[in-house]
Structure 1
């Protein structure tokens, strides 16, 4: 397999734009708009160019590249500190319990409350793999390489990390959750609101959204039954997140009702188990299957390979992985078991 992840460059805009057109909507981090993608890549370039180790509001864009032909076939993103440019809104699903002594009856009502609880967290998102490449574990490579990047640049990320999963989108490209909740106040279709948010941010939510909790019982059936559910194409991603230690704690996206998954950064499995070692050998023929990564910031690269951890903390890797990473004996490689 000759795929590797690397830092995105400004010239990657065309393959990113072509992939964005394949997302089917509800994918705010990868809008099918060249200007918005160009701004995202420019912001990412600024983040990669920052040599510091401070936690500030930044965004990193990575791309999956077929190293044999140089084709970009996937992408993912990391946001270091959400909610700094404008509020980071979520709905929090909670329960209000009330009791009447006269009726001897207890009633429990579910509420959706507009909150900014997750503000300041880091976020992993924007993961998209070209439909023709959805085999061979490339989605897992995209997802888990982000955690190696965080481990390698730990000071640049917050102590809490979240991942928003796209919610249920119907065959028309609409959102039952949006139609049943926010759409009633905005006079906009889900597609219009989703596109506006991707291009301009969600300050319009703060300006127009009612601040009072929404009683779930008052929503229509279609809206109620999709709260906290991922899009069918995101179920595998949700399982991967759960394996990494992320949990759904009742926070949902304000647009499509998809679940927000949360974890303590240092508890994420691929971060906690990441191993940093000096390359002792690049002729390993058999070994443990692993994700391997090297390089700081713009020089970051990751791929699949084989590793053998040595007693002295060094690591042996296979020659093909060494070639994809551009490393030799004496270089530093981070790794985690596949």
Structure 2
């Protein structure tokens, strides 16, 4: 039985367990960093961060049978401000030709750019390796972010960004960073990416301001520009199905491609419905949906489950177990998006 909910301060040990297994940039194996991520999320869900653009929301997936956290996902309300710009590399093509030697070339060119009025970003998707493939936990963690954005549309930007992971080396290193960033900063990829979360000044000062010809990189580095890694291919296809497209931009650290969509055009957000819960139990499985409810409980303001549903007009029929997990009674209102 898997429950999606907002992170709580008491979840620190569970996040540390996940981080110890995975130790990703999104979920660093660092107690202080995790405490900061949790604190920002708790204050965001509670509305204690006054400006909605400064909020960051962390969702966790809990296995209620064991009480363990098995995954996370995140929404950054605005990625890119005057104080902390969104940094990326624009990818373009440039052609050259010499009539004298009758030679024609097409070069991939990278140009560093900054966005000071950035989009909403979805990220932080982490799933316990032992649970992958069981109940589609990654899909639940991904979809819940769109449900929440649709529920509070005016808190978020008109564009949604997803930065996907590129193919990485077996040791976790980035081919692009080894060929570019490391040579200009003297840092490892993880060191640079973590520092950029607090201060991006070093990027502007150390990265080359001029265009960079990827032709100068090793062949295998050139081949991964704009590509996703094999484990991210499923996420890419899912995003494309709901309205995202590659926008010819990549992350300056790992080279991962940027996919974007207009918020109003994301099919899941457009499909969101608000329904009143009926008293009778669902007897026959119908459509599979994500169903969420918001609560006034300061320790758990948001709950969401994947469940069979039957929707009729503005009402919804749920199994008894789903009503119990959500903590809803007949007559309560819930938010719903399709899952399958």
1:73 counterpart residue number: 70
2:36 counterpart residue number: 39
> Quick one: structure 1 residues 247 and 155, their matched pair in 2 at CA, closer, same or farther if it must change by over 3 Å?
same
Return 131-140 or 228-237, whichever deviates more. 228-237
Return 75-84 or 229-238, whichever deviates more. 229-238
2:195 counterpart residue number: 196
1:303 counterpart residue number: 305
1:89 Cα deviation from its structure 2 partner: 0.5
CA contact 1:30–1:37 (8 Å) conserved in 2 = yes
Gaps of 5+ in 2: none
5 Å-filtered alignment, 1:1-338, equals 2-23=1-22, 27-50=24-47, 55-84=52-81, 85-98=83-96, 107-117=105-115, 119-134=117-132, 135-197=134-196, 200-286=198-284, 287-295=286-294, 298-311=300-313, 313-338=314-339
CA contact 1:54–1:155 (8 Å) conserved in 2 = no
* Separation in structure 2 between the aligned mates of residue 201 and residue 53 of structure 1, nearest angstrom: 22
**Deviations for 1:47-90, whole angstroms, at most 9, x for unmatched residues?**
11217996422101111012233221111110001112411101
Return 160-169 or 186-195, whichever deviates more. 186-195
Return 62-71 or 245-254, whichever deviates more. 62-71
* Separation in structure 2 between the aligned mates of residue 35 and residue 194 of structure 1, nearest angstrom: 16
Question: What SS does the corresponding residue of 1:45 show, helix, strand or coil?
Answer: helix
> Quick one: structure 1 residues 281 and 267, their matched pair in 2 at CA, closer, same or farther if it must change by over 3 Å?
farther
> Quick one: structure 1 residues 95 and 42, their matched pair in 2 at CA, closer, same or farther if it must change by over 3 Å?
same
> Quick one: structure 1 residues 118 and 324, their matched pair in 2 at CA, closer, same or farther if it must change by over 3 Å?
farther
> Quick one: structure 1 residues 171 and 107, their matched pair in 2 at CA, closer, same or farther if it must change by over 3 Å?
closer
Question: What SS does the corresponding residue of 1:171 show, helix, strand or coil?
Answer: coil
CA contact 2:91–2:249 (8 Å) conserved in 1 = yes
Question: What SS does the corresponding residue of 1:161 show, helix, strand or coil?
Answer: strand
* Separation in structure 2 between the aligned mates of residue 152 and residue 282 of structure 1, nearest angstrom: 25
Count of equivalent residues: 333
CA contact 2:110–2:212 (8 Å) conserved in 1 = yes
> Quick one: structure 1 residues 189 and 195, their matched pair in 2 at CA, closer, same or farther if it must change by over 3 Å?
same
CA contact 2:4–2:303 (8 Å) conserved in 1 = yes
1:94 Cα deviation from its structure 2 partner: 0.8
CA contact 2:45–2:301 (8 Å) conserved in 1 = no
CA contact 1:282–1:316 (8 Å) conserved in 2 = yes
* Separation in structure 1 between the aligned mates of residue 116 and residue 322 of structure 2, nearest angstrom: 37
Question: What SS does the corresponding residue of 1:19 show, helix, strand or coil?
Answer: helix
* Separation in structure 1 between the aligned mates of residue 48 and residue 315 of structure 2, nearest angstrom: 26
1:145 Cα deviation from its structure 2 partner: 0.8
Question: What SS does the corresponding residue of 1:115 show, helix, strand or coil?
Answer: strand
Question: What SS does the corresponding residue of 1:168 show, helix, strand or coil?
Answer: coil
